[in-house]
A and B are shown apart, each in its own frame.
Chain A
């Protein structure tokens, strides 16, 4: 088979050979995606800044892979490993409170009773206290989101995902812009 023909042969050959390559690439991506992390984390702030001496709201969003669940922060049974969020206080900012949502009651093949679990996306609220003496700039809290995931038939070992929360301290009087209302309106901080 001679690919280089008189009329645009090399270009055609390149285009033709690209097709199987793209298919193999797609298959590889699909196979790779099926073995990705069970929980992915992102963080949000209710406002784009905070004043010294104030309390500001943050959220840690955990996206749980389809087919898996993680246990409620207050698990139904004492042998279940709870989902936790641990954040270390940093200079100028500390954690006042962490608010976990109520889990969803679900029945699994391995349990006689319904278990309270998280599936899909979970929003964990964090109330942050900015120190009176905090100077304008970015304060960063570091921590981890700890969980133990199962599907209907098997369980993965407990593990954690790093969490980084960066809060921008601004001079008092600076206008603050609110955002992510769809997330923060669902979190029961009170």
Chain B
């Protein structure tokens, strides 16, 4: 009798543990990975200060009160090259409402980035990234990686890989809307260009 109960208990435990693992991995995690659901999951975006393509300081703190789309990319990254024109349009469309797009290039050399900036007519600030900023943002393992930061300075979304631009635009609109995040005033900075 006892033997049967022990065996049954063990089998149930195995089924539950295994089931929970695969449920999380293949159903829950892919959905919740993109957006944070609770306040505890919305950390403040780490502060950084880098040089833009013109050699001027670019600091996240300069955009306090703005909605920031922070995009880690590289000129050699095909999916990044597809996304960037869409980010250019987003910047143009929502600049007056308080959207700031910032590109962090993970290229080794400056010149290809400058060339890219010109060729793609980028209308937002781009800075050269380094290991420090990737570590600050939890490790950037693949490009593109895009963060959406609300007016309150918290990270509201993280997209790994090229994302559906419609989803990103909806997230931007939600954050720009009154009450989307705490409003604060801040200085407006012109985008750094090549």
Interface on A for B, CB 8 Å cutoff? 1-3, 5, 12-13, 16-17, 19-20, 23-24, 27, 79-81, 108-111, 115, 148, 150-158
Q: Is the interface of A mostly helix, strand, loop or mixed?
A: loop
Interface on B for A, CB 8 Å cutoff? 2-3, 5-7, 9-11, 13-14, 17-18, 21, 74-82, 106, 112, 141-145, 160-162
Which one of B10, B11, B18, B74 contacts A155 once the chains associate, using CB atoms below 8 Å? B74
- Docked CA distance A157–B75 (Å): 11
Q: For residue B21, which residues in chain A have a CB less than 8 angstroms away from its CB?
A: 27
Contact B76 A155 (CB under 8 A): yes
Residue of B nearest to A157 (CB): B106
State whether A16 and B6 are in contact (beta carbons under 8 Å apart), knowing that A154-B79, A158-B76 are contacts in the complex. yes
Number of A-B residue pairs, CB cutoff 8 Å, is 81
Q: Is the interface of B mostly helix, strand, loop or mixed?
A: helix
Give 3 nearest A-B pairs by CB, closest first: A154-B161, A153-B161, A154-B142
Contact B78 A110 (CB under 8 A): yes
Which one of B3, B14, B76 contacts A148 once the chains associate, using CB atoms below 8 Å? B76
Contact A150 B10 (CB under 8 A): no
Contact B5 A1 (CB under 8 A): yes
Contact A153 B6 (CB under 8 A): no
Contact A154 B5 (CB under 8 A): no
- Can you pick out 23 interface pairs between chain A and chain B where the beta carbons lie within 8 Å of each other? A1-B6, A1-B9, A5-B3, A12-B3, A12-B6, A13-B6, A20-B17, A23-B18, A79-B76, A80-B78, A109-B79, A110-B78, A110-B79, A110-B81, A111-B78, A154-B77, A154-B142, A154-B162, A155-B78, A155-B79, A155-B80, A155-B143, A158-B76
Contact B142 A156 (CB under 8 A): yes
Other than A17-B10, A19-B14, A154-B144, give 14 A-B pairs with Cβ distance below 8 A.
A1-B2, A5-B3, A12-B6, A20-B17, A23-B17, A23-B18, A79-B75, A79-B81, A109-B79, A110-B82, A115-B78, A150-B79, A152-B79, A153-B79
Which one of B6, B81, B141, B145 contacts A3 once the chains associate, using CB atoms below 8 Å? B6
- Docked CA distance A151–B78 (Å): 10
Q: For residue B81, which residues in chain A have a CB less than 8 angstroms away from its CB?
A: 79, 110
